[in-house]
């Protein structure tokens, strides 16, 4: 088959030829591990185990969970029990599933404001009443949760605790603990999206929210999308047996069995062969270099009235523009400079945060990131003048 190597032929986005689109929050094609997965697939398909192609156990394959628990125990520096893991086809499906099982249309949930824009689409599908609560440099503000709890209790609070999308910030340990205490006191769940937990480039973030699953209010969602490959569509939910019961006793898993038994067997091999570990180290090195390239160029080129805090991990840098600049309008000017970004309003349930924008350093290589930052700075200066 003749495939244009410069184009992801099955991609979910399309970029005009000369544009550097810094809104793309996924790895570039050079980071997708074809060889490692060919090796892992060969390993798992020649083990004489036809069960990987049969309907799977409702919770997921125990052998996969056992290997995943070993990997997570080492990475999270927590003892992870394989029986506390449920296989998903990624965090997006995990969130949709949690909404299906725990909410009814019209129910209230709390989210951070800003939050992951595409999760807002999932919550809209379930017709949930989404209440955004403010954040500062230490994550969601606990007093704001308490104030809102005086009026209403959510079914769950959705948080991205580590290397947040879009802000890049991390919820402090003190606030994590307090959030869990509140969930127990007011009887709501916490859906913790820990997709960037293992992508630290500087220092060590607080332990994953998985640390708190004993509280029986926490669902910790993980994914292979950012540490191996998004096309695998494979992730997990780690939770207490009480909540696990709900995940494993419902029409969907009774009908189709556990999710993704075949892919989970391949990824099990990738972990066992040390390929996951190798890929993660490689990604961390590359992303750190990309982050430095983008942020150094931003510092050099942006006007003083634009600020940002360099993230210690994850995929994103979040810029604050002068109050009078509307990032959605700036985007048209940016397109004229052959550059793009995600405007702040995308990440707000009220389409607020108009003077913010998000840049991703995951997709492009260093020269394009530097050039992209230059073009963005030129577009901002033009808009300000």
Ligand X SMILES: Cc1ncc(COP(=O)(O)O)c(C=O)c1O
> Rule CB under 6 A: which residues touch ligand X?
25, 90-92, 116, 160, 165, 193, 195, 223, 225, 230, 235
Find out whether 25 and 12 touch, Cβ atoms under 8 Å.
no
Torsion of CA 77, 223, 160, 109, to 10 degrees: -120
Min separation Cβ 291 and ligand X, Å: 15
**C-beta of 237: minimal distance to ligand X in Å?**
11
Q: How many CB atoms lie within 10 A of CB 77?
A: 11
Instruction: Closer to ligand X by CB, 92 or 268: give it.
Output: 92
Q: How many other β-carbons are positioned within 10 Å of the β-carbon of residue 352?
A: 14
CA separation for the pair 225, 245 (Å, rounded): 26
Minimum CB separation from ligand X for residue 119, in Å?
A: 6
Q: Which is nearer to ligand X, 71 or 116 (CB)?
A: 116
Which of 177, 138, 140, 169 is closest to 157 using CA atoms? 140
| 258 closest CA partner among 280, 237, 288 | 237
Buried b (16+ CB within 10 A) or exposed e, 200-239: bbeeebbbbbbbbbeeebbbbbbbbbbbbbbebbbbbbbb
Instruction: Kindly tell me which of 116 and 212 has the beta carbon lying closer to ligand X.
Output: 116
CB 273 within 8 A of CB 44: no
Q: Which is nearer to ligand X, 91 or 218 (CB)?
A: 91
For ligand X, the closer of residues 76 and 97 by Cβ is 97
Q: Where are the beta strands (DSSP E) in 216-338?
A: 218-223, 235-239, 307-308, 316-320
Residues, the chain: 385
With respect to ligand X, which residue has the nearer C-beta, 23 or 355? 23
CB-wise, 154 or 222, nearer to ligand X? 222
Residue 313 Cβ, how far from ligand X at the closest point, in Å? 12
Nearer to ligand X, 52 or 160 (CB): 160
The nearest distance, CB 15 to ligand X, in angstroms, is: 17
Q: How many other CB atoms are found less than 10 A from the CB of residue 25?
A: 22
CB of 48 to ligand X, least distance (A): 31
* Closest separation in Å from C-beta 160 to ligand X: 5
- Min CB(229)–ligand X separation in Å: 10
Tokens of 169: 């910030």
CA 322, 324, 325, 328 torsion-angle sign: positive
Least distance in angstroms from the C-beta of 90 to ligand X? 3
Closest to ligand X by CB, 58 or 194 = 194
Give the integer Cα–Cα distance in Å for 368 and 167. 22
Cβ atoms < 10 Å from Cβ of 7: 11
CB-nearer residue toward ligand X: 179 or 379: 179
Please give the Cα distance from 276 to 289 (Å, whole number). 20
Least Å distance, CB 150 to ligand X, is 28
Tokens read off for 376? 């963005």
């Amino acid at each position: 088959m003749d495939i244009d190597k410069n184009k992801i032929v099955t991609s979910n986005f399309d970029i005009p030829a000369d544009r550097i689109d810094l809104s793309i929050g996924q790895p570039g094609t050079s980071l997708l591990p074809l060889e490692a997965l060919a090796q892992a697939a060969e390993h798992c398909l020649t083990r004489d185990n036809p069960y990987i192609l049969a309907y799977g156990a409702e919770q997921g394959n125990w052998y996969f969970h056992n290997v995943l628990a070993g990997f997570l125990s080492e990475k999270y520096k927590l003892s992870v029990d394989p029986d506390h893991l449920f296989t998903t086809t990624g965090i997006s499906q995990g969130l949709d599933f949690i909404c299906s099982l725990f909410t009814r249309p019209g129910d209230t949930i709390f989210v951070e404001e800003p939050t992951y824009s595409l999760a807002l689409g999932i919550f809209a599908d379930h017709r949930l009443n989404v209440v955004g609560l403010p954040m500062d440099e230490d994550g969601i503000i606990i007093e704001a949760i308490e104030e809102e709890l005086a009026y209403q209790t959510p079914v769950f609070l959705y948080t991205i605790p580590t290397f947040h999308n879009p802000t890049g910030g991390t919820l402090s340990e003190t606030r994590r603990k307090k959030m869990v205490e509140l969930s127990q006191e007011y009887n709501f769940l916490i859906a913790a999206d820990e997709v960037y937990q293992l992508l630290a480039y500087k220092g060590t973030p607080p332990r994953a929210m998985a640390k708190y699953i004993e509280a029986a209010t926490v669902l910790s969602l993980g994914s292979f999308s950012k540490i191996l490959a998004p096309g695998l569509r494979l992730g997990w939910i780690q939770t207490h047996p009480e909540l696990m019961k709900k995940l494993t006793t419902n029409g969907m898993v009774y009908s189709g069995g556990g999710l993704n038994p075949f892919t989970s067997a391949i990824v099990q091999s990738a972990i066992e062969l040390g390929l996951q570990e190798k890929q993660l180290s490689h990604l961390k090195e590359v992303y750190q270099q990309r982050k430095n390239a983008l942020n150094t160029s931003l510092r050099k080129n942006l006007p003083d009235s634009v600020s940002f805090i360099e993230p210690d991990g994850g995929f994103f840098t979040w810029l604050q523009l002068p109050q009078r600049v509307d990032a959605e309008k700036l985007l048209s000017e940016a397109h004229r400079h052959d550059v793009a970004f995600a405007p702040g309003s995308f990440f707000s349930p009220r389409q607020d945060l108009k003077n913010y924008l998000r840049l991703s350093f995951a997709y492009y290589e260093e020269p394009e990131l530097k050039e992209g930052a230059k073009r963005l700075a030129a577009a901002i200066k033009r808009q300000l003048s």
